[in-house]
A and B are shown apart, each in its own frame.
Chain A
């Protein structure tokens, strides 16, 4: 089944298109650039389709494995593969890239070729992160994603973009540099960069703890977990709409995925030992950040904080170590990709018209933009975790898992259903309902065809996942099971 290198194609097709745009695009041929970018994004998604259709759902092994020699001297190989934990994120990354290209269609007017190229290259790099099974390769992709995102925030961002871009880059780099030392340590212990070998490597408790902490700093910044989350609101607010969407939908998952691929299996004993600490941090994110979201006056900031709270749910699910929790966390990650991505798209739609993200500048938008109001309603509900939307499934799973683990943890976690509803719906009410607030709102025009279909596709995803999440859980089931069994057995030497 390995006739076509599916994963390599998923990585390099968008990157090749991005490089092509960088080389031949300029200010004058913007329409062509847009078309080429769209073709690149769609091709990049199409090549990932075999991952869905050809995936062996009963197996926890890595599939679509590709191996080529890379840096033999360092024992690093070009080793790619996906299992149930990562396959959905490859699909998600490729899919969101199409949406992002469409979202930037008319909105971006300057240096269109560089904008589109940055997103296409970023897409390939993110697929690389999710499919790399070699520690060094993973790290190269993980770090390289910083470069296009830094440029995206800094060039096409809002007023305070420079500060946000630096904060984003340096914060993330801080975490990953320590991970680099941990990776080198693991390499010296095992003589290889293969993550699969690291999974089997026996390590003392002290080593495990240090490695866990080194990984934790990198992944916690990326997720982001409280208290290293402060870069996210800045980055989200200042980034252009496409940048916010990619950040929320995929880049945050890089960190959460890191826990699944590195922290838990490589340092299982330390993970068990520090689970209480991790659960505490997650609950603070859920409860405290939920309250912080409530008082935001800036729509993008509100969604950014709600992302942190939702990601708190994800890390909570990981560290209660049961099938429900981990399964729910993965569903929550995918769902969050669609929901928060769609929320940022909606805010982008408003921002393009009014050039304001302030909740106070809006009111009564439903009167002038009815189609928009309907779709936005759905996403706000999904953000609040309403049943029949994808937001519900993940949260419900995680809470069920948490009840098995400890009733009070579950009780605290479930406050998110209250806070989530409060901040999402209250914002929705202030922006959409009521009388038309001012002349600007009165002059708003409803969704264009491009915006409408872009949001409808996202809405379908949210609904399908909410009503019928089985395709997702089917694919993750075996791998989650294997992971939990692995974590349960000690590997102290």
Chain B
């Protein structure tokens, strides 16, 4: 790892992805007015990126661009998950986009660009690279949200998303500049080193940390930085919601991990209480407000906020009285939580999209009424997803909550664990209500549920995963813990 080694081969997945996006865009430029040949081209690009990812070593840690980019087991795992999540999203969204005459080429290339941004974030080992990746992802997503420019509500959501997102990026950048002032470097491993050796202006550093945490909280959607989530989830067309709600959460986890756990573990005393407040507020607000929602997407937005609370609980439970021995397990449990959450969310929005059709958006709770009579298979998948989100065994969501609670209890914060499980009782109510609407009520919509075979396959696989990983969660938990342990070098 010399200063001059670019190690381009490590970035092969990113490079191939970028080339693929360029080819997609160019081929579109030829005939912008005609329909483009299916999702297959985008999936091909994703497959190539995936194939380039697989040979990467899962045991060694390597850096490129003079230490600015890091490739380790964690980045490999997160990138694999992100590719799969985006691929599933594109397949699920295909029909929806056609029905609404969203230009597929633009939709797909923007989705892939946001994925590229996520790749950069996941591999960032330098605060500037974090920012670079974040902006690449965010700008693609803003454009995606605004893609239906003739729809008022969707444009409104896009503006909100852009303004608040830009504000959050500003927070983050401001915080980074203060970290630079306090620590004298932007490289994450050097920050960690200087925190240990004490060559840091603690006051400036702490102030910078506040802004960093606030910026991260914005991106995650933790209370009190959550205001954009419900509006954006509700307002953007479901295909775009899927791309905003899914894979970006993985990237947000990655930068939180790189910055807080890898770089600033030494400053745990500053960030742990902040995360605690964010977590508790998110759990309360997310769960309680979700009950009052009539709009399905808005309800899921608040449910996301409460799930973020759980992720934060995992992150903050790693350090006990200055002893960071449990940090790897704690962040590992958060990683497991977020991976399962992303896949559950992709499935959930996928179901909503399948229920929509040309000229009709399924988005209120009433649209789910009697789904079991209209389409038992879709209802069964949704049932599995809802019980998983509610954390009822034998779904995978149970183990996600379980290891987070375990991590919190082992950190000696039993009261916090009790508090969190009590709020998941509240959460169970609104997930159960969806099951109730699908199974107990009579349908109000007699239209047949039409879905493409590929979407059905994706949903079936998704449902089977939620259930199968619930029966045998060991391998995935192990992969998550190993990845984090290795990244933290413990």
Contact = CB atoms under 8 A, between A and B. Distances in A.
Interface of A: 22, 70-74, 111, 114, 136, 139-140, 143-144, 146-147, 150-151, 154-155, 161-162, 165-166, 169-170, 173-174, 177-178, 180-181, 184-185, 187-188
Interface stretch (B88-96, B267-275, B357-365, B404-412): B404-412
A70 B399 CA distance: 13
Given A73-B477, A73-B481, A147 B425 contact: no
B425 A177 contact: yes
Contacts of A144: 392-394
Contacts of B394: 140, 144
Contacts of B421: 177-178, 180-181
Query: Number of contact residues on B: which range applies?
Result: 35 or more
Nearest to A25: B376
Contact of B474 (A73, A161, A173, A178): A73
A346 to B, nearest CB: 27
B429 A72 contact: no
Contacts of A185: 409, 414
B36 interface: no
Interface in B382-398: 387, 392-394, 398
Interface of B: 372, 376, 380, 387, 392-394, 398-399, 402-403, 405-406, 409-410, 414, 417-418, 421-422, 424-425, 428-429, 432, 435-436, 439-440, 472-474, 477-478, 481
Given A147-B392, A180-B402, A169 B432 contact: yes
22 contacts: A70-B474, A71-B473, A71-B477, A74-B406, A136-B402, A144-B392, A151-B439, A155-B372, A162-B436, A162-B440, A165-B436, A169-B432, A170-B432, A173-B425, A177-B422, A177-B424, A178-B418, A178-B421, A181-B405, A181-B417, A181-B418, A185-B409
Contacts of A114: 372, 376
Nearest to A143: B393
Contacts of B398: 140, 143
A217 to B, nearest CB: 11
Contacts of A143: 392-393, 398
A164 B435 CA distance: 14
Contacts of A151: 435, 439
Contacts of B403: 74
B474 A72 contact: yes
Contacts of A181: 405, 409, 414, 417-418, 421
Nearest to B399: A71
Given A71-B399, A154-B439, A161-B440, 20 more contacts: A71-B472, A73-B477, A111-B372, A143-B393, A144-B393, A147-B387, A147-B392, A151-B435, A151-B439, A154-B440, A165-B436, A169-B432, A170-B432, A177-B422, A180-B405, A181-B409, A181-B414, A185-B409, A187-B406, A188-B410
A22 B380 contact: yes
Contact of B439 (A71, A155, A177): A155
Given A144-B394, A169-B428, A188-B406, A155 B440 contact: yes
Contacts of B393: 139-140, 143-144
Contact of A73 (B376, B428, B439, B478): B478
Given A22-B380, A73-B474, A140-B394, A170 B436 contact: no
Nearest to B407: A184
A71 B403 CA distance: 12
Interface centre among B393, B425, B472, by most chain A C-beta atoms within 10 angstroms, is B393
Question: Chain B contact residues: over half helix, strand or loop, or mixed?
Answer: helix
B238 to A, nearest CB: 27
Contacts of B392: 143-144, 146-147, 173
B409 A188 contact: yes
Contacts of A187: 406
Contacts, number: 89
Contacts of A177: 421-422, 424-425
Nearest to A185: B409
Contacts of A74: 403, 406, 474, 477
Nearest to B482: A73
A84 B380 CA distance: 38
Contacts of B440: 154-155, 161-162, 165
Nearest to A175: B425
A427 to B, nearest CB: 30
Contacts of A22: 380
A165 B477 CA distance: 33
B410 A154 contact: no
Contacts of B409: 181, 184-185, 188
A424 to B, nearest CB: 33
Contact of A170 (B418, B429, B439, B474): B429
Nearest to A171: B425
A139 B392 CA distance: 10
Contacts of A71: 399, 472-474, 477
A185 B409 CA distance: 7
B310 to A, nearest CB: 14
A130 B402 CA distance: 22
B482 to A, nearest CB: 10
A216 to B, nearest CB: 15
A143 to B, nearest CB: 5
B418 A150 contact: no
A198 B387 CA distance: 29
B429 A166 contact: yes
Contacts of A184: 402, 405-406, 409, 417
Nearest to B403: A74
Contacts of B376: 114
A185 B393 CA distance: 19
Nearest to B393: A140
A160 to B, nearest CB: 12
A188 B317 CA distance: 15
A184 B398 CA distance: 13
A154 B441 CA distance: 9
Contacts of B372: 111, 114, 155
Contacts of A162: 436, 440
Nearest to A151: B439
Contacts of B414: 181, 185
B323 to A, nearest CB: 15
Contacts of A188: 406, 409-410
A70 B474 CA distance: 7
Given A73-B478, A147-B387, A161-B440, A174 B406 contact: no
A22 B377 CA distance: 10
B112 to A, nearest CB: 35
B373 to A, nearest CB: 8
A345 B184 CA distance: 78
Interface centre among B399, B402, B435, by most chain A C-beta atoms within 10 angstroms, is B402
Contacts of A161: 440
A112 to B, nearest CB: 13
A122 B403 CA distance: 26
Contacts of A154: 435-436, 439-440
A465 to B, nearest CB: 34
Contacts of A169: 428, 432
A218 to B, nearest CB: 12
A162 B428 CA distance: 15
A171 to B, nearest CB: 10
Given A73-B474, A181-B405, A184-B405, A170 B387 contact: no
B435 A150 contact: yes
A143 B399 CA distance: 13
Contacts of A72: 474
A397 to B, nearest CB: 36
Given A139-B393, A143-B392, A150-B435, A173 B428 contact: yes
A162 B418 CA distance: 28
A185 B473 CA distance: 20
B333 to A, nearest CB: 11
Nearest to B405: A184
A169 B427 CA distance: 12
A184 B333 CA distance: 14
